[in-house]
Amino acid sequence: MTNGAGIFSGVFSHGGAATGADAWLQAMLDTEAALARAVERAGLAPAGAGAAVTAAAKARAFDPADLGRQSALTGNPVPALVRALAKAVPPDAAGAVHQGATSQDIIDTAAILLARQALGMTQSGLAVAAGAAARLAAEHRATVMIGRTLLQQAVPVTFGLVAAGWLTGMDEARETLALVAARRLVVQFGGAAGTLAALGADGPRVARLLAEELGLGLPVLPWHTSRLRIVEIAAACAGATAVLGKIARDVTLLAQTEVGEVREGSPGGDGGPGDGGPVGGGGVRRGGSSAMPHKRNPVAAIAILGCTRQVPGLLATLTASAEQEHQRAAGAWHAEWQPFSDVLRLTGSAASWAAELLGGLTVDAARMSENLAATHGLPLAERVAGLLAPAIGRPEAHDLVARASAGAVEQGVPLAGALLGLPGVRQRLDEARITPAQIEAALDPAGYLGAAGEFVDAALAAHAAHEKPGQSQERQ
């Protein structure tokens, strides 16, 4: 299993749930302990057996590396783990270890336990990030900036609308994750071939008790080769990372030196100019470059993208692995373990980074205004054409403004001057009773924002409803 600790963990295991070897080992032991308690409750093991197994089922008492080596003999680590656990308990309790189960029951249930923790932490990170986005949307509801389509200046928008888009995406991702967590996290318990034959008539009852012990749902039947749950969990994570990747990409583009409309803050800093607070030893500051001291790289946004770019490929592997033969897969099930772990870890890391990113994001409204003015009114060409159309017809108005726009670019003058300087235009405007002042007013970006404010308000209202106690449960 990929371990959360390591040289890259600061980027790819940033505040998310642990899904490394130790976490997997403890989740498998938790499953074995819960099973021992369940069989005792069912009257299939002596009193105290469940407590004895639970007391012994601590990851620190086992060697993950040794279990890993032994897994080469059996194709998975559970047989070796079961032998070690049975030796660690009193003889009269050993019979309660792994009773009626197969290796896949233990690993699949452990995977669900890891998913429960990871989804919870991801949702917590997204909740913090969404709260920060809501504050940005409200604060900058009327902060005008240029909208960009195909990476080119388009028409004015507001930064509040941009943040509202981020907010809505995260809230929708949170709803999907909550739905999956509520409905798809179930126990796996089917025995050798999904019949629980080893437990006879007690099988279904033990399965129910196992689910109760772990606080998981009870599926209609075992799902050894029906892998929709794994795909759905991973797909919900992929949706969340898609949302977070979009936010991070926006920030990297807006934070470019030539754009400079936003910048990241530093941990513990206020995000203001010169805030390059240290994040480690040796005077290293967030955003610093090993070769270029002047740089202030958007580290949080970059780290999010480093996480989110990996998830689609991992989801593809899990989806491909869902085709499994008969009652137990030969290889496809094994292919799930590492990518599933990585999806959970990377999604949680991206959400944690997003909480930091948006919580410390600084918006430069003055720079937004400068960038908006840099094209001398060209982004408002559409509005000017709309002003002229009733008087001179839409096709002619479009052609006239297009000629004026080309002239403005060639001559480096404002659009209004280029338009009024075209031969015969002033007379046509006088005849249509359109004044130069009206042209200038049409070129005011603040007057061409459409429903931007209303959309921001709608996003904030939806977010507020989402945050009401019990609201997310109602939506499920």
Strands 144-149 and 362-363: unpaired
- The structure tokens listed for 60 are 């620190």
- The structure tokens listed for 73 are 């003999």
| Burial class of residue 194 (count of CB atoms within 10 Å of its CB; 0-12, 13-18, 19+) | buried
3-state secondary structure the chain: CCCCCCCCHHHHCCCCCCCCHHHHHHHHHHHHHHHHHHHHHCCCCCCCHHHHHHHHCCHHHCCHHHHHHHHHHHCCCHHHHHHHHHHCCCHHHHCCCCCCCCHHHHHHHHHHHHHHHHHHHHHHHHHHHHHHHHHHHHHCCCCEEEEEECCEEEEEEEHHHHHHHHHHHHHHHHHHHHHHHHHCCECCCCCCCCCCHHHHHHHHHHHHHHHHHHCCECCCCCCCCCCHHHHHHHHHHHHHHHHHHHHHHHHHHHCCCCCCCEECCCCCCCCCCCCCCECCHHHCECCCCCCCCCCCCCHHHHHHHHHHCCHHHHHHHHHHHCCCCCCCCCCCCHHHHHHHHHHHHHHHHHHHHHHHHHHCCEECHHHHHHHHHCCCCHHHHHHHHHHHHHHHCHHHHHHHHHHHHHHHHHHCCCHHHHHHCCCCHHHHHHHCCCCHHHHHHHCCHHHCCCCHHHHHHHHHHHHHHHHCCCHHHHHC
289 noted as active-site residue: yes
Q: What amino acid is encoded at 184 in this protein?
A: R
Catalytic residue selected from 205, 309, 328, 367: 328
Which has the closest alpha carbon to 80: 99, 67, 89, 93? 67
Asked whether the beta carbons of 159 and 140 are under 8 A apart, the reply is yes
Q: What amino acid is encoded at 435 in this protein?
A: T
Q: What phi-psi label fits residue 146: left (phi over 0), alpha (psi between -120 and 50 degrees) or beta?
A: beta
Catalytic residue selected from 183, 289, 394, 426: 289
363 - beta bridge partners? Answer: 262
- The structure tokens listed for 83 are 């032998």
Q: Catalytic residues, which ones?
A: 289, 328
